[in-house]
Amino acid sequence: MASISSTRPSIWREIPKGIWALGFVSLLMDVSSEMIHALLPVYMVTVLGASALTVGIIEGIAEATASITKVFSGALSDWLGKRKLLVAVGYGMAALTKPVFPLAPSISWLISARFIDRVGKGIRGAPRDALIADISPVHLRGASFGLRQSLDTIGAFLGPLLALGLMWWTADQFAIVFWIAVIPAALSFLSVVFAVREPERQPGLRWVRMPFSRSELVRLPLNYWVVVGLSAVFTLARFSEAFLILNAQAVGLSLMFVPLVLIVMNISYALSAYPIGVMADRVDRASLLMMGLALLVAADLCLAFIPGLLGLGVGVVLWGLHMGFSQGVLAAFVADAAPAELRGTAFGIFNLTAGVALLIASVVAGALWDTSGPQGTFLAGASFAALAGAGLLLSRRWLRTRQTVEGATDV
């Protein structure tokens, strides 16, 4: 078998244009969202007087809201047999909420803005992932999800980088930075409307009328449910990145440089997601997930025990690598396991479980932060990561066979 490096140019050329378009749509929206998100925890604590527990609750509710919405939008896309409309509505809602952030006079306004923004994320999330699975060839599914994740994550580090430069340029004027973040959000919505094309429905594909009925859910195979369960435990170990930002402040990083945390993490994520996606089409995916968990344990231990900026820097890099080794791989597992006509529902349930787990993890992390500080928070994350590793070892045999849309198996 040829090496990954020798096959990469042809892989780039083979990935359909629709995957690239969706990747750039994600990139633009993440530039906007992360310009705000990189500053929001510190803004809430230092300007509006919120506690770390409040930050954890807001972040957990925001992400759980997105995940709960995904389950319904995914099922709706299966019922309609169309994905792009819901993707466009979701990106449009997110773009419309961005002006609320510079105008918000209180925490309640920010909660409302985050809630609506995350509803938009939820509406677009599962249909977008199902659309990627619909567009991508089976033998390039890992690479396609990895590419989308990489482009998305490039936006996720460009956003904080812009926030950093703008905070310096404006002398820490949060509102100006939040207003500038409106521009890439608008461009993202326009891009999904005009640049993304939905493929024709496969001839003879079964129509789904009741996606949540028992007769439909039993069509989702056992290996799919194993992936859903593993993803939930993964997410309990990986609470909101808001706590990485708070840790940066705790070790003495100045306000202007706090966005560097997300910049470094997302560079690490972006550089690893596509190569790992390519590997996921060629090697045992469970091994990649195990490596991702090992990286997360190492990240938590660095953040808990290595003092100062050194521990912060190493921990953040390892955290980003963990994301690259896990997020696209889990999505490829779901795409392979789910029947084509139920992909939206499958991604919706997958994201719902992860969102509920993130809500629990973020609230627990916030409570631990307020009672035992950063060390207790990151040690708890390492413990959950070890638990996820044990679950992965026990269920590994169910993940070796990957179902394709044609109904064949690919080992």
Residue whose token pair is 């005009």:
194
Q: What is residue 294's predicted lDDT score, i.e. its pLDDT?
A: 92
- Residues 264 and 362: their CA atoms lie apart, in Å, by 21
Range of the domain at 112: 11-198+219-410
Burial degree of 219 (CB within 10 A; 0-12, 13-18, 19+): middle
Q: Can you give the pLDDT of all 411 residues of the chain as single tens digits?
A: 344 444 445 677 788 888 999 999 999 999 998 888 778 777 777 767 667 677 767 766 776 677 677 778 888 888 988 899 999 999 999 999 998 888 777 777 777 888 888 889 889 988 999 999 888 888 888 888 989 989 988 987 788 888 888 888 887 788 888 999 999 999 999 999 998 888 877 777 778 888 888 888 888 988 899 889 888 888 887 777 778 888 887 888 777 677 788 788 888 998 999 899 888 888 888 889 899 999 999 999 999 898 888 989 999 999 999 999 988 889 888 988 888 889 899 998 998 888 788 778 878 888 888 888 888 888 888 888 888 888 888 877 776 544 333 333 332
Close Cβ partners of 205 (under 8 Å, ≥ 6 residues apart): 81, 340, 341
- Residues 103 and 177: their CA atoms lie apart, in Å, by 12
Instruction: Supply 322's token pair.
Output: 């963990």
For residues 223 and 399, the answer to whether their CB atoms sit within 8 Å is yes
Residue whose token pair is 């990957």:
402
Domain for residue 303, yes or no? yes
Domain for residue 326, yes or no? yes
CA atoms within 13 A on the CB side of 250: 19
pTM value is 0.76
Domain for residue 205, yes or no? no
Which of 97, 109, 125, 122 shows the shortest CA–CA distance to 43?
109
Domain for residue 72, yes or no? yes
Helix (H, G, I), strand (E, B) or coil at 239: coil
Which of 145, 121, 120, 125 shows the shortest CA–CA distance to 133?
145
Query: Looking at residue 263, which CATH number applies to its domain?
Result: 1.20.1250.20
Q: What is residue 302's predicted lDDT score, i.e. its pLDDT?
A: 93
Q: What is residue 407's predicted lDDT score, i.e. its pLDDT?
A: 37
- Residues 381 and 113: their CA atoms lie apart, in Å, by 28
Helices (H) and strands (E) in the chain, counts: 17, 2
Q: Give the amino acid at 267.
A: I
Domain for residue 210, yes or no? no
Residues pairing with 402 in the sheet: 410
Domain for residue 211, yes or no? no
Domain for residue 204, yes or no? no
- Residues 310 and 115: their CA atoms lie apart, in Å, by 35
For residues 335 and 403, the answer to whether their CB atoms sit within 8 Å is no
Domain for residue 279, yes or no? yes
Element (H, E) at 402: strand 402-403
Residue whose token pair is 């638990």:
387
Q: What is residue 7's predicted lDDT score, i.e. its pLDDT?
A: 43
Would strands 409-410 and 402-403 be described as parallel, antiparallel, or unpaired?
Answer: antiparallel
Where does residue 81 fall: left (phi above 0), alpha (psi -120 to 50 degrees), or beta otherwise? left
Q: How many domains does the chain have?
A: 1
Which of 270, 198, 194, 244 shows the shortest CA–CA distance to 27?
270
Close Cβ partners of 28 (under 8 Å, ≥ 6 residues apart): 155, 184, 185, 187, 188, 191
- Residues 140 and 7: their CA atoms lie apart, in Å, by 12
